A and B are shown apart, each in its own frame.
Chain A
Amino acid sequence: MIFNWFKIFIYHLRQSKLFSFLNVLGLSIGIATVIFAILYWNNEHSYDQWNPNKENAYMVLNKIGATGDTWGSNSIPFGETCKASIPEIEKICFFNTWYDDEIIKYQSQKLMAKKITVSDESFFDFFPFEIVQGAKTNILKEKNSVAISEEQAKLIFKDEDPIGKAIIYNTVAYTVKSVYRIIKPSSIEPNYVFSGVKREGDENSWGNFNYGLLVKIKKGADPVAVLKKMQNVNFVNRTLKDAKESGQTVEQYVKENGEITVILDQLQMSRLHGTKSSAGQNFPEGVGNLKLLYIMGGLSILILVLSLVNYINLATASAIKRAKEVGVRKIVGASKNQIIKQFIFETAIIVTLAILFSLAIVELSLPYYNTFLKKNLTMNGSEFYLQLILIFGLVIILAGIFPAIYISNFETLKVLKGNFSRSKSGIWIRNSMLIFQFGIAAFFIIGALIVNSQVDYMMNKDLGFTGDQVISIPYNKPDRQKRVQQYGVDKSEIKKIPGVVDVTTFAGSFGGSTNSSSGFTHNGIFVQPRNAEIDFGFLEMMKIKIVEGRDLSPEFASDTVSSMLINETLAKTLNLKKPINTIVTSGWSIGDGNNLKFKIVGVVKDFHITGLQNKVPPMVFINIKTLKWNNFNNILVKVSPNNLTETLEKLKIYWGKNVNPDYPFDYEFVNKGFAKTYQEQIKQKNLFFILNLVVIIIAVFGLFALASFSMERRLKEIAIRKTLGAETDILLKELSKQYIIFCFMGFAIGILPAYILLQKWLEDFAFRINISVVPFTVALISLVILTLIIVLTKAYQVTKIDVLKYLKYE
């Protein structure tokens, strides 16, 4: 029997090669997008799933009451007190929530190492990577110990035994205790784990939130109860004390200053469903992009549905060709079930082909997808193959059942009498599916247009600074304490290099943020502005305007002592009507505990220091010499556009000789650096564009095929109309009319979801476009034009038929 079915299937496949091919292609594109989404989904959901502590380990975050920011960092005494006073807590671990990239030295070797983390002796209790060499326990207990990943060990030590060898990191020698094998994917995938995360001076400072903190609670303990106890530790040691110090009652103090709320994120949930910290300080591998994951998932399902609808439509439309066969089969004894089985069998073959095809598509485009997601996904794992089988079954059922039942219900008598081909059965289903397709297409076109205009808006927005011809070069002087001093010398030397127009620096980066933030209270208003320590001339070089007062200048001695600038946002937040000459008590102190007082000498026009997702933060500006924090990491050099290569070459030589020979010379144009903030959106735009193309291709093909089938069924009618004297243009109108109506109906369906979802997407941007009618109009017009082109082409072809042929036979 199957052989018989197969023969017929092959026959029809050969009869309509193009349609069959396009049909398979449509399905395989649909399946391929779902496979892409699944790969991404699996990867994101497999983070830390290998970890035996995934349920018992929690990351601790703090929501700062005064500003509403969430910090992924904690103070040492808080962690230690929790450990000591809460019996349910089995272990705690301090670690750096970021990776360091530094030069690692071994004997005469130098290696630019990435993904360095610093932690304490509990690290491997929380992330039990497989130890392949060396000590299995107490790895980081001794001072200056380090554990290295297998790959790095091979890189540095080749065939030598790494255990007991000394490597140098930040001028300190560390002894290699163990070599471990990273298990991926993990929230931390470090190449090096150094001991000694706790810095001097932080041991007893409740206010120094410098450390990532993990707690492991005992099996069976209630995390809610633990959280409550931790909250209490904070209350007793911070809120109560601070309130006492300020001479207020607790209620009053909390009302004015807010209170820290402790948050616990379970390790296994942390990546995707965890609390996002304000500065992106979660685990070093970052957090999962849940939104993109949902976008990918949703769109891929939509495309699969589209291709399924296409398949069903074509299958039912072309079923007319199979009507006689079905009739005959029924006459010679086929039951309905057998007919259904036969057609599901055919769908199964097509789906098999489509899946093979889609695997090929995925395999070929996986590298691009990986670049897009910055991941290294592969088609692997039993889970993936199980899902593939599930898709296979699901697609067969969804695509196959309906046409099969439809065909099996053909009435034998009508079919064999031969007047079946003009029957109207199933038409309304096909038409509503067509409308649905138009709806999806409209959704995608509108979506792409809106995403596109938001990205355009971001790229062309006035940022408040001009980064043209300004490059940022890392300034890694080995001795940080003398950085300001050394910078002064280097600045005047670099200025002498031909092609260099100006040199300046500030402690931060455009598109990132500034390197520090300190809160203070003025007139009873608490603010947490970003600190920008700038060199004289910084504002001028970056063409950042002063709206009131004056810039900091070397002419005033006080400008390196007690003068500050603030930006418009801060002036507004502090409610300062006349900000100039206002004295504020800053959040900074030098040793003696009294906070320094500063005089505001100017107000800086707001400019975008972070990406356009965020509002302009409140900012204060002081000279780099004022506090001598030495915490700027880059030098900004304005270069002349002429002889750029030469200038860069000279800068490189200067850097190698005078700044730090260990580091490779690296530079970035400031504009390009800022553009990174909307890289994600550009990617989403491209993603939308590609998906749009896919959707339109599938929809166009579906429309063409359906129009072909339904028009060919009307050949006799057309022939009669022609005989009665119908002109071509009247016929064209007659034939195309309904599709235009469907197009409008589909569009109407697509509008609302497009509006709602895109509105949601835009909510993420502090600076965004408003949704206007333009994208909707453009989408409608392009959809109508597309429909007209397809339908009219087919209709024109149909009106050119030989009248006689169709009146004679039929």
Chain B
Amino acid sequence: MITIQNLTKVFRTEEIETAALSGINLEIKKGDFLTIMGPSGCGKSTLLNIIGLLDSANDGSYKLLDQEMIGLKEKGRAQVRKENIGFIFQNFNLIDELSVYDNIELPLLYNNVKASERKQKIEAIAEKLNISHRLKHFPQQLSGGQQQRVAVARALVNDPKIILADEPTGNLDSKNGNEVMELLTDLHAKGATILMVTHSDYDASFSQRTIHMKDGVIFSEKLNQRNVDVFMDAK
């Protein structure tokens, strides 16, 4: 689904050049659940942003669904983004001025989905994420976990090909964090492709594969053990 080759990103100021990413190679297949870990400033968020088409690379190749993304104009990127990518953020990024329902509706509006279909989809996803009773509330009236579930609902409502999660549990306590991670695992089990950035080893253990980055390069990759589930069950 995603093929990245020799991807490079350099931040330039007047005096210094900082290589945020230098020669990243990565492949994500359909149905993968991949975690990127690493210390602050290692380039993991930059990588995620480039994959999410929020940022552009200086060099290399990034193919999404066999289509080259490097060099695509803003308009084209917005188009690809709205059709294929769902975002989940650490700070939720819900629009405070809109109700839960309206927040979830946004991607559908921008994808020109018909009104009747929109309603149906929103209700279905809300049901799935157990926030049906919260649709009329505003984000500020919800707990952190609920807000993140709304954000997940918004990310999923348009059936994206890949979900990008940037520290999804970063602003949550462990109980709410767990809930969100279970949600992601669940989605993965149902076939969703997920790419997650996190600091937490614990969160990473929910995924299939973990990549470690440092100073803009990937230096290790490991497959996670299934026994995590066992551990969870024991808990």
Given contacts A4-B98, A8-B98, contact A328 B106 (CB under 8 A): yes
Q: How far is the CA of A325 from the CA of B139 in the complex (A)?
A: 13
Q: Which chain A residues in 328-385 approach chain B with CB under 8 Å?
A: 328-336, 338
Q: Which chain A residues in 410-466 approach chain B with CB under 8 Å?
A: 412-413, 416, 418
Least CB distance, A63 to chain B, in whole angstroms: 67
- Determine if A7 is an interface residue (Cβ-Cβ < 8 Å): yes
A335 partner residues in chain B, CB cutoff 8 A: 75, 78-79, 110
A4 partner residues in chain B, CB cutoff 8 A: 98, 102, 105-106, 109
A338 partner residues in chain B, CB cutoff 8 A: 110
Name 5 A/B residue pairs within 8 A (Cβ), A-sorted: A328-B93, A330-B78, A331-B93, A336-B75, A338-B110
Give a binary string over A314-336; 1 marks a CB under 8 Å from any B CB, 0 the rest: 00000000001101111111111
Q: Is the CB of A1 within 8 A of B89?
A: no
Closest to A322 in B: B97
Q: Is the CB of B107 within 8 A of A12?
A: no
Secondary structure of the A contact surface, majority rule: helix
Q: How far is the CA of A41 from the CA of B98 in the complex (A)?
A: 46
Q: Is the CB of B78 within 8 A of A7?
A: no
- Determine if A556 is an interface residue (Cβ-Cβ < 8 Å): no
A412 partner residues in chain B, CB cutoff 8 A: 54
- Determine if A11 is an interface residue (Cβ-Cβ < 8 Å): yes
Q: Is the CB of B54 within 8 A of A336?
A: no
Q: Which chain A residues in 579-597 approach chain B with CB under 8 Å?
A: none
Least CB distance, A161 to chain B, in whole angstroms: 69
Q: How far is the CA of A334 from the CA of B154 in the complex (A)?
A: 14
Given contacts A7-B98, A413-B54, contact A327 B93 (CB under 8 A): yes
Q: How far is the CA of A416 from the CA of B91 in the complex (A)?
A: 9
Q: How far is the CA of A331 from the CA of B91 in the complex (A)?
A: 14
Give a binary string over A2-21; 1 marks a CB under 8 Å from any B CB, 0 the rest: 00100110011000000000
Known A325-B97, A331-B54; further 14 A-B contacts with Cβ < 8 A: A4-B98, A7-B98, A11-B97, A325-B95, A329-B106, A331-B81, A331-B87, A332-B82, A332-B106, A332-B158, A335-B75, A335-B79, A412-B54, A418-B91
Q: How far is the CA of A8 from the CA of B138 in the complex (A)?
A: 12
Q: Is the CB of A336 within 8 A of B74?
A: yes
B102 partner residues in chain A, CB cutoff 8 A: 4, 7
Q: How far is the CA of A4 from the CA of B98 in the complex (A)?
A: 8
Q: Is the CB of B105 within 8 A of A328?
A: no
A12 partner residues in chain B, CB cutoff 8 A: 97
Q: How far is the CA of A1 from the CA of B105 in the complex (A)?
A: 10
Across the A-B interface, give the 10 residue pairs with the lowest CB-CB distance, nearest first.
A333-B82, A333-B110, A11-B97, A332-B107, A332-B106, A335-B78, A325-B95, A1-B109, A334-B110, A328-B93
- Determine if B229 is an interface residue (Cβ-Cβ < 8 Å): no
- Determine if B55 is an interface residue (Cβ-Cβ < 8 Å): yes
Give a binary string over B49-90; 1 marks a CB under 8 Å from any A CB, 0 the rest: 100001100000000000000000011001101110001010
Q: Is the CB of B110 within 8 A of A329?
A: yes
B82 partner residues in chain A, CB cutoff 8 A: 332-334
Least CB distance, A332 to chain B, in whole angstroms: 4
Closest to B75 in A: A335
Q: How far is the CA of A330 from the CA of B97 in the complex (A)?
A: 16
- Determine if B36 is an interface residue (Cβ-Cβ < 8 Å): no
- Determine if B94 is an interface residue (Cβ-Cβ < 8 Å): yes
Q: Is the CB of B110 within 8 A of A332?
A: yes
Closest to B103 in A: A328
Q: How far is the CA of A332 from the CA of B150 in the complex (A)?
A: 14
Least CB distance, A408 to chain B, in whole angstroms: 11
Closest to A9 in B: B97
Least CB distance, A49 to chain B, in whole angstroms: 50
A330 partner residues in chain B, CB cutoff 8 A: 78
Least CB distance, A802 to chain B, in whole angstroms: 21
- Determine if B141 is an interface residue (Cβ-Cβ < 8 Å): no
- Determine if B111 is an interface residue (Cβ-Cβ < 8 Å): yes
Q: How far is the CA of A412 from the CA of B166 in the complex (A)?
A: 15
Q: Is the CB of A333 within 8 A of B111?
A: yes
B74 partner residues in chain A, CB cutoff 8 A: 336
Least CB distance, A638 to chain B, in whole angstroms: 76
Most B C-beta atoms less than 10 A away, residue of A1, A4, A325, A333: A333
Q: How far is the CA of A7 from the CA of B103 in the complex (A)?
A: 12
A331 partner residues in chain B, CB cutoff 8 A: 54, 81, 87, 93
Least CB distance, A322 to chain B, in whole angstroms: 9
Given contacts A1-B109, A7-B102, A413-B54, contact A328 B78 (CB under 8 A): no
Q: Is the CB of B78 within 8 A of A334?
A: yes
Q: Is the CB of A8 within 8 A of B109?
A: no
Most B C-beta atoms less than 10 A away, residue of A1, A331, A416: A331
Q: Is the CB of A416 within 8 A of B89?
A: yes
Most A C-beta atoms less than 10 A away, residue of B79, B94, B97, B105: B97
Q: How far is the CA of A11 from the CA of B55 in the complex (A)?
A: 31
Closest to A8 in B: B97
Least CB distance, B73 to chain A, in whole angstroms: 11
Give a binary string over B99-124; 1 marks a CB under 8 Å from any A CB, 0 the rest: 00010011101110000000000000
Closest to B164 in A: A331
Q: How far is the CA of A331 from the CA of B49 in the complex (A)?
A: 11
Q: Is the CB of A324 within 8 A of B95?
A: yes
Least CB distance, A781 to chain B, in whole angstroms: 44
Q: How far is the CA of A1 from the CA of B75 in the complex (A)?
A: 20
Closest to A333 in B: B82
B91 partner residues in chain A, CB cutoff 8 A: 418
Least CB distance, B165 to chain A, in whole angstroms: 13
Q: Is the CB of B95 within 8 A of A328?
A: yes
Least CB distance, A327 to chain B, in whole angstroms: 7
Closest to A326 in B: B95
A336 partner residues in chain B, CB cutoff 8 A: 74-75, 78
B81 partner residues in chain A, CB cutoff 8 A: 331, 333
Closest to B55 in A: A413
Q: Is the CB of A324 within 8 A of B93?
A: yes
Q: How far is the CA of A412 from the CA of B77 in the complex (A)?
A: 13
Closest to A418 in B: B91
Q: How far is the CA of A413 from the CA of B75 in the complex (A)?
A: 16
Least CB distance, A324 to chain B, in whole angstroms: 7
A325 partner residues in chain B, CB cutoff 8 A: 95, 97
B49 partner residues in chain A, CB cutoff 8 A: 413
Closest to A412 in B: B54
B154 partner residues in chain A, CB cutoff 8 A: 332
Q: Is the CB of A333 within 8 A of B78?
A: yes
A413 partner residues in chain B, CB cutoff 8 A: 49, 54-55
Least CB distance, B98 to chain A, in whole angstroms: 6
A327 partner residues in chain B, CB cutoff 8 A: 93
Q: How far is the CA of A12 from the CA of B97 in the complex (A)?
A: 8
Closest to B94 in A: A328
B107 partner residues in chain A, CB cutoff 8 A: 332-333
Least CB distance, B227 to chain A, in whole angstroms: 36
Q: Which chain B residues in 129-157 approach chain A with CB under 8 Å?
A: 154
A329 partner residues in chain B, CB cutoff 8 A: 95, 106, 110
Least CB distance, B130 to chain A, in whole angstroms: 22
Closest to A11 in B: B97
B75 partner residues in chain A, CB cutoff 8 A: 335-336
